[in-house]
Structure 1
Amino acid sequence: MKKQTAGRDALGSFAPKFAELNDDVLFGEVWAREDKLSLRDRSIITVTALMSKGILDSSLKYHILNAKNNGVSAEEMSEIITHLAFYAGWPNAWAVFRLAKEVYEE
């Protein structure tokens, strides 16, 4: 996994500790524990959590792209979103499908 700098890029001077925790702990330590859970599985879990909470912004799009890059196919992502629609809400599914369609058509 490549070194994460999104926190520092977006918030480095405004919230340096939060940026450090985002880049070095969340993405540097937690996501790096591939011996415990694969990047692919972590991506699926993260997309599920964000959709379930109704977080349908650019962070979700980033994690859908991350899932794609970690081996989740378009067909699998479609099935994941369809399954989640019954648990996380139909309107959320529509919103996530729009983002996923953009990501997988790129």
Structure 2
Amino acid sequence: MRAVYGWDIEPTKPFELQTVDHLFGEVWGGRPDTLSVRDLRLVLIGMTVGTGQIDVAGLQIDTALRLGEVSPEDLRHLVTFLSHYAGWPRGAALNSEVEQIISRHEAAKSEEDPGS
């Protein structure tokens, strides 16, 4: 789970154990010769935007930015790209989500390094 989100949880219930083992061990972990975590995350972002799950896309976008998998410019390009395929209303919602996430990350960076 750390490789996907940058943090771990300690699963205690059977469903949590199965989810963490399978989803994060096999599905996200994959094999070395397959898609990277970044690639899988971009596919997941596209799928969640396409199905209108902007909040779920936001979690993935926030993580991708925090882990350095994408830049703010990458995210803005992704908004334009996905708007053409998912529709402008979803694209507009995604744009709002992305800009809020970028603002939060920039504010957090400013707090960490006030001289920048």
The interval holding the TM-score normalised by the smaller chain is: 0.7 to 0.9
Q: Which has the larger radius of gyration?
A: 2
Q: Counterpart of 1:94?
A: 92
* 1:26 paired residue number: 23
Measure, in 2, the Cα distance between the counterparts of 1:71 and 1:26: 20
User: In 2 relative to 1, CA 101–34 (structure 1 residues): closer, same or farther, beyond 3 Å?
Assistant: farther
Deviation at 1:99, TM superposition (A): 1.4
Q: What code does the residue aligned with 1:63 have? A: Q
Q: Return the TM-score normalized by structure 2.
A: 0.71
> C-alpha displacement at 1:33, in angstroms?
2.0
Partner residue of 1:5?
A: 9
In structure 2, stretches of 5+ residues that fail to align are 106-116
Q: Contact 1:43/1:66 (CA < 8 Å) preserved in 2?
A: no
SS state at 2:93 partner:
helix
Q: How many residues align?
A: 98
- 8 Å CA contact 1:43–1:67 kept in 2: the answer is yes
Question: Is 1:65 paired with 2:62?
Answer: yes
Percent of residue pairs bearing the same amino acid type: 28
Which residue does the alignment assign to 1:56? 54
Where in structure 1 do 4 or more consecutive aligned residues deviate above 6 Å?
Answer: none
Partner amino acid for 2:94? V
CA distance in structure 1 between the aligned counterparts of 2:96 and 2:31, rounded to whole angstroms: 29
In structure 2, C-alpha distance between the alignment counterparts of 1:100 and 1:34, rounded to whole Å: 30
Structure 1 unmatched runs, 5+? none
The verdict on how the C-alpha distance between 1:76 and 1:82 changes in structure 2, with shifts beyond 3 A counting, is same
RMSD: 2.2
CA displacement at 1:90 relative to structure 2: 0.5
Query: How big is the shift at 1:75?
Result: 0.7
